Structure 1
């Protein structure tokens, strides 16, 4: 019985393999002989290149390469590499029959017989033009994006590794932070934070929040390369792969310092306006109460006088004296209330600020005790203002008393004068102009924000009952604002307090005074003595002779005055000063630092008893205490 089998089962394995290869359309699979001529051709090859098997069989495979690559010998190098390395793989533009090109991915494998003979090459090519174009489009898009990011200068845009190290850097980052890309790439982004924020772990928390929540946003101080700081708005976004793995962070930072300062300035202006309106309302209320109270006092005082007329025996009684004292205290209290309410009549005159303070210095020094150090720093040129001198002295004394009471264990009070130009509403509600600035600073207990907010209110006090009326600072506020000025306060608990007075400069008098000063400069003298009474009288002696006098109670204060004063012509110092450098030591230091300053030593002891150095008697003039004005004038004329 004869049996038969399907034709395909009669094919050999090689024939079946050839059929499979020929049928593949997505890949060009063909064979080359050892010289590179095409010996087989499948449908995929025909589809990619446009050549039929009849067109291409027997032709060299270099026909698929563009002319420049053929001239460069690339086809032969491909075969050589395949034979040498066992494989050649590359991508490049290839030619179709019609002359068009496509992007091909090619692999060439050598075919070696068992005996080692080269039989030819197997070549597999795939048309990946679409993939190539998509990659080029993506690359162009990425390049465009990089150029866009790099061109942004208002924002710092850069990438971080998962650990927080900078991996790229745009022009905005360089402009805002000051670092070039070479300086910053590879460093940790925590370098941009303040030391306090780094110690608090803020950079790490930022990355942790971004990693956990996908985004972190915050504002805060950041540090530039030169060490300066700016206020930054920061956004950190986590970047994850398609598999969800964290591959880094995108960070965008903007310098919003100007916006923040504008907002703070607006807030300060609103606060100043609110404070001004509040104090205005309190002033109106207080003024009304004071007037009513004054009327009541007038009735009581008149009634008391009638009572003593009708009953003379009561005139000198203890009860009457108590009533009179009460009425007197009531009258003083009324004047204080009217002062805060700015309803107290003023007697303004033109005065020079430094001179006012110098003339009142002895009283200010007596407001403290021996544990309080005074430092008076005068503006180098005269500052002319128009105000009520007596009320100004009272206000200054109130501030100094307030400062000394904040330092029960001792400390330092600094009174400083200055002249400056202010912008409109730079301080409270003051208009733009030139102002005298007088500050009283202590290093005492300081005030809480709650106390600062109420410190100028009448009757507000932090002292124990019976220790104060709470009207001292309200008087200062009322007088200064009535004089067209402003009082500000800055304080920190445990650090100290500074009250600053701003008074408009009398520009006409200031200009005239400056012209006169140019014509003739008044000589200056620095008087040093630890005895306040003697210090005051000596300063007056010098002033009567036409000198501008500075004073100091010890050597350390004197050296500070010598360093900051524009020019001291004469140093007049006591020799023996307990708990301080001596007058002779002060004189020697002054001679080294200020060789043109005339130095006069004064003491109740004869000079030889003070020092065995006879050379000093030749260097410095000496005046025995007590001395007369004539003695002082004589030694001022001497050459020493």
Structure 2
């Protein structure tokens, strides 16, 4: 019970501490976001302020440059050249195009007004005691001077003066060009912006800390008000964002400050900390409620545990039963996954069997033709041995189908180093002189738990793919090394070779075997589909698209995985991850298969007396051509069609046909669809379907079973001839 109470206290403390830390993180994030927003707005306002001042400054410099061009070198020249009505009109026109410019004034060296954009002649005013006159009179400078703000006695509006010194070529003081800037312009500009709530502000200051204008307005224009902490910030940088603990009003503020380039003014944008944290406070309320609920949940859980403490044995029994239920469910799920995997593999091997059976069909029929035409026992003997090999190939196809349904690998402890050496030696003799084979094996290479025969076939398959990817020759490398994979594995190879981690590989120890070529490589799109069954980039007849999928299936079913890494022009690397063999594991023995020899068929060649007309339909040119030659030799009249559509056309327009011999798997309309199309025309012609899918089609041909027979590929010639004659005889009798 004491332990239970201690756990409860620690849990509550963790909830409180975690909640407090999360609240603080949210607060800092909210303030940082506000600082970024204010800094961005402040930058924009500083640029607008600089452009406004620059527009006034350009008016002043244009007037000064014009006087210099006219040769003004003495104070008298300034009066002589610029005291006329035309100059007044010029100044008036320049002031009218700049909205923030209230007036333009030319001032002589003695402080009297030479010309004025508002009135002509100008009023008799002397400004020799003004700050801008005193600042520029005795200092030869090209920098503008910004005066303190002055309040208009009539309108009450605030004005600030931007002054430029008019100097003779020798530096003598000739007077001033003065622009009166209406600070209400900036007040209107700031009023149109929405920074935050009503307590937010935008202000414009002189660089010495004198307030020029502010929105919302304050009665402190022209004074150095407040703490002016921004002056300390700007003494170190041109801009900054900081917290002012005591602003001009409304308490603590977030302040973004920036000095305007080329002019002695500063733009500040502020928001009150209360406004910035308004949304955060709403979040805090929600988090606190959630924390209280969590704490209450912990307390309730502890209370429930305390009540159940004395019933521990019953709880333990219930947990054991639940664990057994979970294990049972996992076993059921594993069985379901296994069934789904077997179904997928069965679909793959069906395509392999179809292509393999077609090849065996063509080879077997041609061998029988050779046997029937040749009398030389030196030829007949090897032919019969080849026929036995065809039968063994047919048996192997059936074993492959059975294997795919059950996927019974025979894993044993395999010395991967020795196996790859044997495969590399075989490849050196078979790949040709244009492909150089290299082998690399890491010192202390582990043994792997794998089916050695299937691993050899996988490596040979990868080597053939690599050879095809290097039509001009290249280097094929087989590299084996030890690999440890954890939850965060990201392999770093000791050399420059590329390697990708396969998806779905569990953490553990593996022997990786990489087959690498220097060939044409693959695009990312092709590499992404490379392991898909029946996907191939080779031309028709050169590949089934099953090689890489079978390689991946071997590695995955063995408890490892496979990965591919390829770049166009950079070669391809396929890496197998094989599970490391435990020292206590023992080898599992495997079996072998054998086939029977075929019988000669010399008697078939003289069967012309029973000849009939046959329509042979098969999309495989090799199988169709060999079968047609054999049937012709056996005395039949044979018409050929490469697809079902062509066959239907020959039935409609060609010579009469006694028997149709057709394949099932064909592009477009398959064999069974063709049979249904013929029966739909009320044509009772006998049809013999020769296919590798005879067993699967048994349930599908019920509706067209009359006059239809099925033979499984590869079919022996005597069986084919016997079936054709039997169907032709039944057709004649009918």
TM range (shorter): 0.3 to 0.5
TM-score by length of 1: 0.34
The structure that is strand-richer by fraction is 1
Between the two structures, name the one with larger relative contact order (CA 8 Å, sep ≥ 6).
2
